[in-house]
Amino acid sequence: MEKIELIFISFSGISHLAATLEIAKMMALRDRRLSITIIIIKFPFGSNPTLTSDSDSIRFVTLHPVEVASPGTTEFAIMFELMKAQIPQVRDAVREITSSGSSRLGGFVLDTFCIHMIDVADEFGVPSYIFCTSGAASLSFNFHVRFLHDNVGLDLVQFKNSDAELEIPGYANPVPVKGIMVNTFIELEYNAIQSFSNIALPPVYPVGPILNTQAEWVDASGIMSWLDDQPPSSVIFLCFGSWGSFGGDQVKEIANGLERSGHRFLWSLRQPPPSKTGSPRDYVNLEEVLPEGFLDRTVKIGKVIGWATQVTVLAHSAVAGFVSHCG
């Protein structure tokens, strides 16, 4: 039986890596011909999670972090430049993986942050597929904004602090890939998924929900104990991903909104990185950033924590709603 090699390349955020591993496991389980290599790109800053798998069809290749001379001025620009700088290492890794001739290279599956690697796939003469770890609505929004900039000529800065409402019809710009896999399912995002059918673009495949339900959180007892004391379906959980953080003014606005709402809440609050090449971290003293007396006034209805494993919290019967970023 001929083996077919798939190369997965993921953004290094834990939520991206976890979803990438889960879809790789699912594909390897469904087709025993597949041999999957997940290439892990380390950044020169922040934490770099470690992945493991009990599947003999999945292996990991970790690349060394690289530095770039002028990484850009925004977080996204920095990440894209660092990814682009990894192209030579990715090329060498794929060449080594395929050198034995034991399997045929079938294609690349790329995170939305790793689109520079399409060029590497083209060099090897294989197709690329995009794996979007967020939902279809997020995908639609991101590319419609790009369409407004490239095709309509709108200066998107004008929407800063604006109350303008935009209609998001769907994915507006084709990309040179064979297909787009999205971590969602049609019953959840029917309208967003259907919006793609009227646009000339690669096929969009809803492949979710892809979840790691076995995720563990070290020392979660305090949080779970607090949730155990709350009525069923009463708590709003606020968590904005492994890279999500807010400045002082935004923290105070969210805190005021939570307090005025009177609803029970669990808030995963993280401190912005000290520089653009850093990653968020937990606050040492929450009282320094929250409104004065906030913790005392909300002690009976709310709890502010640091980083949390979302699956563990969302699975609890006390949680009724989720406020998050696009992830």
| Cis amide linkage into residue 209, ω under 30° from 0 | yes
In angstroms, how far is CA 325 from the centroid of its own chain? 9
More confident: 288 or 168? 288
Please say whether the beta carbons of 156 and 149 come within 8 A: yes
In this prediction, residues 203-215 reach a mean pLDDT of 79
From CA 214, how far away is CA 48, in angstroms rounded? 20
The helix (run of H) or strand (run of E) holding residue 283 is none
Annotate 210-273 with DSSP letters as a single string: ---TT---TT-HHHHHHHHTSPTT-EEEE---TT----HHHHHHHHHHHHHH--EEEEE-EEPP
SS3 156: helix
**Residue tagged active-site, from 16, 31, 144, 325:** 16
Highest mean pLDDT: which range of 171-175, 222-226, 280-284: 222-226
- For the question of residue 111 being annotated catalytic, the response is yes
Residue corresponding to tokens 């909104």: 257
Pairing relationship of beta strands 281-282 and 179-182 according to DSSP bridges:
unpaired
In this prediction, residues 27-46 reach a mean pLDDT of 85
Smallest CA-to-CA distance from 274 within 12, 51, 69, 75 is with 75
Model confidence at 72: pLDDT above 70: no
In this prediction, residues 85-105 reach a mean pLDDT of 90
Per residue in 250-279, pLDDT (tens digit) is 899 999 999 999 999 999 988 877 666 567
Q: Which two tokens stand for residue 240?
A: 């904005």
SS3 276: coil
In this prediction, residues 79-105 reach a mean pLDDT of 88
CB-based contacts of 40: which residues, under 8 Å, 6+ apart?
10, 12, 17, 48, 51, 60, 61, 62, 63
Pairing relationship of beta strands 270-271 and 281-282 according to DSSP bridges:
antiparallel
CB-based contacts of 243: which residues, under 8 Å, 6+ apart?
13, 75, 279, 280
From CA 12, how far away is CA 48, in angstroms rounded? 7
Smallest CA-to-CA distance from 25 within 51, 63, 48, 61 is with 51
- For the question of residue 64 being annotated catalytic, the response is no
pLDDT of residue 148: 74
Smallest CA-to-CA distance from 324 within 277, 272, 252, 266 is with 266
Q: What is the pTM of this model?
A: 0.67
Model confidence at 214: pLDDT above 70: no
In this prediction, residues 112-134 reach a mean pLDDT of 91
**Residue tagged active-site, from 31, 54, 56, 111:** 111
From CA 294, how far away is CA 259, in angstroms rounded? 8
Annotate 50-94 with DSSP letters as a single string: ----S-TTEEEEEEPP---SS--SSHHHHHHHHHHHTHHHHHHHH
pLDDT of residue 48: 58
From CA 170, how far away is CA 215, in angstroms rounded? 33
